[in-house]
Chains A and B, each alone.
Chain A
Amino acid sequence: MVVGVAADVFESAVIIGIFTGTIYAMMALGIVASFRINRVVNLAIPGLAVFGATIYFEMSNVWGAPVIVALFGGVAVGAFIGALLGLCNLKMTQWPRGFVMIFTLTVTLFLFGWSDKILPPIQISPASPFGDNGGFKVALTFVSNHQIGTFVTCILVTLLMALVVTKTRIGVYVRAIYDDGDSAATLGIPIGYFVVGVYAVAGALAALAGILVSPRTTLDPYLILFVTIWALAGSILGGLESFGIAFVGSILVGLSQGILGGGLIHLGPGLENLGAIAVVAVAVFYAGVKRRDLAHIQT
């Protein structure tokens, strides 16, 4: 009996972990996309996610637009701001990458500020694009249509991005720019268009992530900021270069939160995060050491 309950609790923790990880993975895809073009960690992702979700909320809840129209509206705004950010990046080629990363964080602060101005003061959750009702129970956990929709969307987007990068000429160009921008330019690849384009895609992905995350977390910018930090950890596992590994890494981070958090919360408040933080710390350390060793061999 006790074993049965424990198994159910574990199954629930796994299910919660997977769906939490899916949310991180959506964010991680945007981070990986922009890193793959100019090696900058795009910390504008949380801002783009919140602002995309804000536009989605305004269009669907305030203006009364159909959910699908609002979804495309939010994603389009994310892509537009992402493209502008890409343009700014082109102007900052002489800046140290760390400073460009800090610049992307200022974009997040601005987008948070504008979202604060647009949204009502009381925290709200927008409607899910997959419907607010419906779902089924697995073990002790109710799995909603929104979670299933998010999971499927995330897998489809991951596959699409991986296919584009590995199987198309666009992917070859993106890889060439990532490896050596100057050499790519000598081959006639229009670097500017690609940087702006990839940042637009990253912006669209971030906005989509925000739209899919916000029905579960409300539109609180700081909650989404933390979601992005976990997503960053997930994408670091893949060296910020692989969509597939970023997806798997994000799921692992979510799983570690789901499984370890349930056990550690009894030790005291805040400690439910300890397990996930430890997993993330080890992952970052491992990825950093691996990167250093590779650099040494190349030297």
Chain B
Amino acid sequence: MIGTRRNGGDAVAENDTGTDAGDAPAKEKKAGPTLPVGRLILPALVFGLGLAGEFVLPNHLTYAASTALCYGLVGLGLYLPLAALRELPLNGAALAGLSAYFFAFHAHGGHAGKTVLGVLVGVGLCTAVSIAGGLASLVVTGLYFTVASLVVQIGIEKVVFSMGWLTGGASGRGVTQPDPLNGFFTTTRVVFGIVGLVCLAITLSVWRIKRTKILSNWVMTGHQPDGADAVGVRRWVQKVVIFGLSGLLIGVAGVLFAFANGTPPPPPQFGVIWSVIFLAIPIASGMRTASAVWAVAAVFTALPIVLESHHINPNLLSGSILLTALIASQSQEAVMARIRNLRRQPEVIEEIALTEGHHALEELKAKPVVASAPAAVKEVDLRAPRALVGTDIGVYFGGVKAVDGVNVRVGPGQRVAIVGANGAGKTTLFNALNGFVPPTKGTVTLGDLDITGMPAYARIRQGLGRTFQLPRLADILTVRQNVLAGQAQGGDLIPRAEWLMERFGIAALADIPIQVVPFGTRRKVEMVRALARRPEVLLIDEPVSGLEDEEVNELIEVMLELQAVEGWGLLLIEHDLRFVTSIAEQMMVMVDGKVLTEGSINDVLADERVRQVYLGEVVPV
């Protein structure tokens, strides 16, 4: 009986296959993850503060607490693109203002129907603008995205907020608030109760989303875009969803601003300085948990109230808050950096592995080598491998012909190696075959299907697999999360991924963040990730650079066994001729973007020109 373990949140799959390692000891079914008590302290504290706001605080501070919740909601909205995509949107205040003013414009002095319309228009508009920003971030990222979001902020601030008919002028447009229930539960308290319930529901939803497989796809999209493509994740969809959710939360916050205040705050409250302060909330929270975002928002709101009697200049106060937020967040980074340093100490990794995965390691050592997957694992994929054919591929960068008229074919079960000096065009050819670079000329087909115009993620979904020279893995995700990223789109391949992790000897490290595992292990993780999708043709770029001899031998052994059973084609780039001759059947030598020679390993190695290339001599092609 072979059991495929799934730690860290998923169910345990057990297969009574009776094959291969049938005498292996049965594994006990593991319980789902238990949330450490320590991690419940902050949410409990935040929830307790909320209850205190409702029942204990004086009336005017209850209003401040409502404002804090609105700040926190905007912060939570900005937390999503910041943490998942590493984008810094500087337009949170303008989006909240947009929602607040359009809500008040429609809901002003009206009945419930008009209020609902106001909510839909305000939140919908905010979400639409945010989604547009998400689509823009597909082509404009990093610094340019931040500046573009700043331009959006200024545009809304200077143009939309200047329209008196929308903002309602100096007095603003009143919004209907609930009546008081009694002397204690005044309108302010009832408003706080409603705002609090909305925020609680949203927090629970965000928390739930973070515990799904979607999180891995989001993080992969933002932290390793090429890695996301390599597992078939549609990045534009992820970005639209993240920015849509972000806009939704900020839009709701804008509505609540107007609702809690009785009228939308004046335009300066939605100015660029406030955008920065809103962005400081998730930054100061360390971008780890939603509870921390609320806690920081509470502190940001409380500070001005506490310091009110000291008449501190608002700019100095805002600057101090922002500076504190930055230092707090970077102190957390310093702690994380110390953890990252652990990866330079193999004995510590071994210790972690033994502590967290002792049993799995022991089982792996005791278990005989298993060439083929258990039956249940094989069943997840029934595709017959097709041939990958590149015809007359050319990739030109201006006047530079990085690849020029190359033909390549990898059939089912074939193993082809591409060798050549640095700059010969090997990786560019890979990128053209995989869709990471559009070819200037030529066609790429998989079986009968022309995939030349397909984006990279679509080619992966069609059956290509890919690894990179430097592993493209998201540092903040665990080994398992990296391997399983994109699996939501690929059907239920989890048992196969779990089996491969065991086969490559990394199952014991499955729940450890990638940032603390050594380079060689990262290579294996990327290989498992590519193989987990059961590719028809696997393209691997310098798979053994940085590996020890023993690890190279293991890799050769595993790859040959798997390929013999599953029949996929293998195209690889490698400088290590020992590895190439051990694993490949065919070889292609590239020089200056063209093919110098190709054929069986023995024929190619016997070619005098190939020897000259490896000795660094100039060889005409």
Chain A interfacial positions (CB closer than 8 Å to B) = 41, 92, 94-99, 101-103, 105-110, 112-114, 116-117, 221-222, 225-226, 229, 232-233, 236, 240, 268-271, 273-274, 277, 280-281, 284-285, 287-289, 291-292, 296-297
CB-CB nearest in chain A for B164: A269
Q: How far is it, in angstroms, between the C-alpha of A268 and the C-alpha of B150 when the chains are bound? A: 23
Q: In the complex, are the beta carbons of B144 and A103 less than 8 A apart?
A: no
CB-CB nearest in chain A for B159: A270
Chain B interfacial positions (CB closer than 8 Å to A) = 86, 88, 136, 139-148, 150-152, 154-155, 158-164, 271-273, 276, 279-280, 283, 313-319, 322-323, 326, 329-330, 333-334, 337, 397, 437
In the assembled complex, which residues on chain A have CB atoms less than 8 Å from the CB atom of B139?
A: 285, 288-289, 292
In the assembled complex, which residues on chain B have CB atoms less than 8 Å from the CB atom of A291?
A: 144
Q: In the complex, are the beta carbons of B159 and A284 less than 8 A apart?
A: no
Q: How far is it, in angstroms, between the C-alpha of A113 and the C-alpha of B144 when the chains are bound? A: 28
In the assembled complex, which residues on chain B have CB atoms less than 8 Å from the CB atom of A280?
A: 151
Among candidates A270, A273, A285, residue contacting B140 with C-beta atoms closer than 8 Å? A285
Q: In the complex, are the beta carbons of A103 and B159 less than 8 A apart?
A: no
Q: In the complex, are the beta carbons of A288 and B158 less than 8 A apart?
A: no
In the assembled complex, which residues on chain A have CB atoms less than 8 Å from the CB atom of B145?
A: 288
Would you give the shortest CB distance from B415 to chain A, in whole angstroms?
27
Q: How far is it, in angstroms, between the C-alpha of A99 and the C-alpha of B334 when the chains are bound? A: 14
Q: In the complex, are the beta carbons of A109 and B143 less than 8 A apart?
A: no
Q: How far is it, in angstroms, between the C-alpha of A101 and the C-alpha of B322 when the chains are bound? A: 12
In the assembled complex, which residues on chain A have CB atoms less than 8 Å from the CB atom of B151?
A: 229, 233, 277, 280-281, 284
Q: In the complex, are the beta carbons of B161 and A277 less than 8 A apart?
A: no
Q: How far is it, in angstroms, between the C-alpha of A180 and the C-alpha of B450 when the chains are bound? A: 42
In the assembled complex, which residues on chain B have CB atoms less than 8 Å from the CB atom of A105?
A: 276, 322
Q: How far is it, in angstroms, between the C-alpha of A283 and the C-alpha of B545 when the chains are bound? A: 42
Q: How far is it, in angstroms, between the C-alpha of A273 and the C-alpha of B159 when the chains are bound? A: 7
Q: In the complex, are the beta carbons of A270 and B158 less than 8 A apart?
A: yes
Q: In the complex, are the beta carbons of B163 and A269 less than 8 A apart?
A: yes
Q: In the complex, are the beta carbons of A41 and B148 less than 8 A apart?
A: no
Q: How far is it, in angstroms, between the C-alpha of A41 and the C-alpha of B160 when the chains are bound? A: 27
Q: How far is it, in angstroms, between the C-alpha of A101 and the C-alpha of B90 when the chains are bound? A: 12
In the assembled complex, which residues on chain A have CB atoms less than 8 Å from the CB atom of B141?
A: 288, 292
- Beyond A102-B276, A273-B158, A277-B151, is A97–B315 a contact (Cβ under 8 Å)? no
Q: In the complex, are the beta carbons of A281 and B148 less than 8 A apart?
A: yes
CB-CB nearest in chain A for B152: A281
Q: How far is it, in angstroms, between the C-alpha of A39 and the C-alpha of B555 when the chains are bound? A: 41
In the assembled complex, which residues on chain B have CB atoms less than 8 Å from the CB atom of A112?
A: 315
In the assembled complex, which residues on chain A have CB atoms less than 8 Å from the CB atom of B144?
A: 236, 284, 287-288, 291
Q: In the complex, are the beta carbons of A277 and B154 less than 8 A apart?
A: yes
CB-CB nearest in chain A for B319: A109
Q: In the complex, are the beta carbons of B315 and A110 less than 8 A apart?
A: yes
Q: How far is it, in angstroms, between the C-alpha of A42 and the C-alpha of B301 when the chains are bound? A: 28
Q: How far is it, in angstroms, between the C-alpha of A116 and the C-alpha of B162 when the chains are bound? A: 25
Q: In the complex, are the beta carbons of A99 and B147 less than 8 A apart?
A: no
What are 23 A-B pairs with beta-carbon distances under 8 A?
A41-B146, A41-B147, A94-B334, A95-B330, A98-B142, A99-B283, A101-B143, A102-B88, A106-B319, A226-B154, A229-B150, A236-B147, A268-B163, A269-B162, A269-B164, A270-B158, A281-B155, A284-B144, A284-B147, A288-B139, A288-B140, A288-B145, A292-B140
Give 7 A-B pairs besides A98-B142, A102-B88, A296-B437 with Cβ atoms closer than 8 angstroms.
A103-B326, A106-B323, A109-B318, A110-B315, A236-B147, A281-B148, A288-B145
Q: In the complex, are the beta carbons of A102 and B155 less than 8 A apart?
A: no
Would you give the shortest CB distance from A109 to chain B, in whole angstroms?
3
Q: In the complex, are the beta carbons of A106 and B316 less than 8 A apart?
A: no
CB-CB nearest in chain B for A95: B330
Q: In the complex, are the beta carbons of B158 and A102 less than 8 A apart?
A: no
In the assembled complex, which residues on chain A have CB atoms less than 8 Å from the CB atom of B333?
A: 94-95
In the assembled complex, which residues on chain B have CB atoms less than 8 Å from the CB atom of A116?
A: 313, 315
- Beyond A41-B143, A277-B158, is A284–B148 a contact (Cβ under 8 Å)? yes
Would you give the shortest CB distance from A245 to chain B, in whole angstroms?
15
Q: In the complex, are the beta carbons of B155 and A277 less than 8 A apart?
A: yes
Q: How far is it, in angstroms, between the C-alpha of A269 and the C-alpha of B164 when the chains are bound? A: 8
CB-CB nearest in chain B for A229: B154
CB-CB nearest in chain A for B329: A99
Q: How far is it, in angstroms, between the C-alpha of A141 and the C-alpha of B77 when the chains are bound? A: 48
Q: How far is it, in angstroms, between the C-alpha of A95 and the C-alpha of B327 when the chains are bound? A: 10
In the assembled complex, which residues on chain B have CB atoms less than 8 Å from the CB atom of A284?
A: 140, 144, 147-148, 151
Q: In the complex, are the beta carbons of A98 and B326 less than 8 A apart?
A: no
Interface centre among A101, A106, A232, A292 (most CB of B within 10 A): A106
Would you give the shortest CB distance from A136 to chain B, in whole angstroms?
32
Q: How far is it, in angstroms, between the C-alpha of A277 and the C-alpha of B148 when the chains are bound? A: 10
In the assembled complex, which residues on chain B have CB atoms less than 8 Å from the CB atom of A99?
A: 283, 326, 329-330
Interface centre among B315, B317, B330 (most CB of A within 10 A): B315
Q: How far is it, in angstroms, between the C-alpha of A265 and the C-alpha of B158 when the chains are bound? A: 12
CB-CB nearest in chain A for B160: A270
CB-CB nearest in chain B for A284: B148
CB-CB nearest in chain B for A268: B163
Shortest 8 CB-CB contacts between residues of A and residues of B: A270-B162, A288-B144, A109-B319, A288-B140, A113-B316, A113-B315, A113-B313, A112-B315
Would you give the shortest CB distance from B590 to chain A, in whole angstroms?
18
Would you give the shortest CB distance from A96 to chain B, in whole angstroms?
8
In the assembled complex, which residues on chain A have CB atoms less than 8 Å from the CB atom of B155?
A: 273-274, 277, 281
Interface centre among B152, B276, B319, B322 (most CB of A within 10 A): B319
In the assembled complex, which residues on chain B have CB atoms less than 8 Å from the CB atom of A274?
A: 155, 159
Q: How far is it, in angstroms, between the C-alpha of A117 and the C-alpha of B312 when the chains are bound? A: 10
CB-CB nearest in chain B for A277: B155
Would you give the shortest CB distance from B160 to chain A, in whole angstroms?
7
In the assembled complex, which residues on chain A have CB atoms less than 8 Å from the CB atom of B136?
A: 285
Q: How far is it, in angstroms, between the C-alpha of A102 and the C-alpha of B327 when the chains are bound? A: 11
Q: How far is it, in angstroms, between the C-alpha of A273 and the C-alpha of B162 when the chains are bound? A: 10
In the assembled complex, which residues on chain A have CB atoms less than 8 Å from the CB atom of B88?
A: 98, 101-102
